[in-house]
């Protein structure tokens, strides 16, 4: 049985390690968790004793298979709760992270299964991120930054890289949302900013940084 804090650390390591594919520096974990390196070192020792990570100096932190499964369970619960909060309780997508971060620690597996069924077995959360299934399988879809689309090319917004409240509120303000059909009308060579047409109706200008944080598929 992991503590809530330990589950949060596993989740952070999973994201930093690209799904468990590479080692993670303790300094990166410290930055992600917004805590002191000494506290991270203590936590790594605890997680290592529980067999969910392996840590070797100069090689970084690696999730064990058990650690990866537990991280995916937490991520699954978080993303299912986000769908519930947005679809059923009418939270906006920039409000759900903090609440879902608390609900993801609910221990009842039957509750999560019933919630998943109630929602119709969603595959993606409100930010476009894939929801792991009950066996820990993650079915992603091909996607790339909007900034890589050429002028005249079309696509669909399917996810965001930056899920901070400030960024999501900005997208709401300009009318860019998950599922929107877009077409690149122009790119400015000087600063990489782009002009896009949303749903064939609304023209939006956005900076290169914004376009890099919007993920699309063709």
Domain boundaries, the chain: 4-63, 144-217
Q: What is the dihedral of CA 134, 138, 139, 143, to 10 degrees?
A: 150
pLDDT in tens, 76-92: 999 999 999 999 999 99
Domain 144-217 has CATH 2.30.30.90: yes
CATH code for the part of the protein at 4-63: 1.10.10.10
What integer is the mean pLDDT of 145-150? Answer: 96
Please report, for residues 97, 128, 131, the alpha-carbon distance to residue 139 in angstroms, rounded to integers and kept in the order given.
Answer: 21, 12, 8
Give 19-68 pLDDT, tens digit per residue. Answer: 888 899 999 999 999 999 899 989 999 999 999 999 887 778 999 999 99
Q: What is the pLDDT of residues 93-107, one digit of tens each?
A: 999 999 999 999 998
DSSP 124-182: B-TTSPBPP-TTS-------EEGGGSPTT-EEEEEEES---HHHHHHHHHHT--TT-EE
Q: How far is CA 149 from CA 45, 46, 60, 94, in A?
A: 45, 45, 35, 26
């Amino acid at each position: 049985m992991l503590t809530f804090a330990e589950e949060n650390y596993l989740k952070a390591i999973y994201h930093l390690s690209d799904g468990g594919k590479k080692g993670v520096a303790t300094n990166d974990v410290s930055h992600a968790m917004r805590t002191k390196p000494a506290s991270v070192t203590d936590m790594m020792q605890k997680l290592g004793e529980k067999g969910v990570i392996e840590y070797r100096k100069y090689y970084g932190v690696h999730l064990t298979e058990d650690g990866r499964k537990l991280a995916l369970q937490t991520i699954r619960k978080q993303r299912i709760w986000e769908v519930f909060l947005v679809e059923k309780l009418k939270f906006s997508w920039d409000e759900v992270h903090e609440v879902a971060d608390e609900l993801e620690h609910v221990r009842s597996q039957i509750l999560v299964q019933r919630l998943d069924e109630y929602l119709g077995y969603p595959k993606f959360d409100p930010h476009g991120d894939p929801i792991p299934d009950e066996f820990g399988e993650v079915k992603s879809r091909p996607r790339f930054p909007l900034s890589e689309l050429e002028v005249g090319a079309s696509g669909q917004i399917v996810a965001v890289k930056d899920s901070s409240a400030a960024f999501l509120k900005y997208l709401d303000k300009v009318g860019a949302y998950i599922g929107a059909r877009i077409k690149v009308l122009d790119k400015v060579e000087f600063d990489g900013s782009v002009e896009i047409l949303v749903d064939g109706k609304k023209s939006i200008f956005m900076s290169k940084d914004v376009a890099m944080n919007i993920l699309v598929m063709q």
